[in-house]
């Protein structure tokens, strides 16, 4: 697996889409709460993109190189999707949408 192949999967695309939804929800919530700062957006984009997308690409490469560790790929995807999904729910709650359990996240 090449480095380019590690980023070409559907799971990476789903992670990027979830991150984009989280960013949009976070920006809308910040604007609604009058807390919006451009610096926070830049800082947010740096951390999750590097941690989630590149980290998942590395896990995919390891899972391909060492087949006995292949189980890590779906587990890592699930953990990332749950983490970003929780962040989306938090941002939607900050927007004022009544979502069950979102205040506990």
How confident is the model at residue 81, as a pLDDT?
95
The two three-digit tokens of residue 96, written as one number: 């004022």
The two three-digit tokens of residue 36, written as one number: 């919006």
58-81 average pLDDT score? 94
- Asked if 84 and 22 count as a contact pair (C-beta separation under 8 A), the reply is yes
What confidence tens digit (pLDDT) does each residue in 50-63 have?
Answer: 788 889 999 999 99
What confidence tens digit (pLDDT) does each residue in 7-25 have?
Answer: 888 898 999 899 989 888 8
56 CB neighbour count, 10 Å cutoff: 21
44-52 average pLDDT score? 74
Question: How many domains in the chain?
Answer: 1
> What is the chain's alpha carbon radius of gyration, rounded to the nearest angstrom?
16
Task: Give 42: exposed, middle or buried? Use CB within 10 Å, 0-12, 13-18, 19+.
Answer: exposed
Please list, in sequence order, all residues whose beta carbon lies within 8 angstroms of the beta carbon of residue 16, skipping any fewer than 6 positions away. 53
Residue 85 is part of which domain span? 3-104
How confident is the model at residue 105, as a pLDDT?
57
């Amino acid at each position: 697996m090449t480095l380019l192949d590690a980023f070409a999967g559907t799971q990476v695309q789903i992670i990027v889409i979830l991150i984009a939804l989280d960013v949009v929800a976070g920006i809308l919530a910040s604007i609604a709460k009058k807390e919006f700062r451009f610096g926070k957006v830049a800082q947010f984009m740096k951390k999750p993109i590097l941690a989630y997308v590149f980290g998942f690409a590395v896990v995919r490469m390891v899972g391909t190189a060492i087949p006995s560790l292949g189980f890590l790929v779906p587990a890592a995807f699930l953990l990332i999707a749950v983490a970003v999904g929780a962040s989306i729910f938090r941002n939607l709650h900050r927007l004022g949408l009544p979502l069950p359990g979102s205040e506990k996240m």
